[in-house]
Amino acid sequence: MPSSSSSPLAARVVERVRRENLIARYGGEEFVAVLTATDLRGGMQFAERLRRRIGDADFEFEGEKIRVTISLGLACTRGESDVTPDALIARADEKLYAAKRAGRNRSIG
């Protein structure tokens, strides 16, 4: 995991991820977090802490203060031994879009 970042938003995200976990940019404005040894409840707690931390942070763009919010979709293996990374990402992606449809700035798992 990177120890520093050029993006203030990415820095706030990275500082909340334990060393044994992974967070990576997945698409334009989407990120994937792999939380080892974490069930869905623990993942939701992580997501909500992160969502609040980003929402409470001060960000600036071209000298103007802006409010930044994030929506999160979570998926876990639920004890499955044969689940693929693609299947987990698809599950999380479905939850992410559900969060956006529900009004954004929320976590759904």
The DSSP result for 56-101, as a single string, is HS-EEETTEEE-----EE----TT-SS--HHHHHHHHHHHHHHHHH
**Which residues are catalytically annotated?**
29
Q: How many helices (H) and strands (E) does the chain have?
A: 3, 6
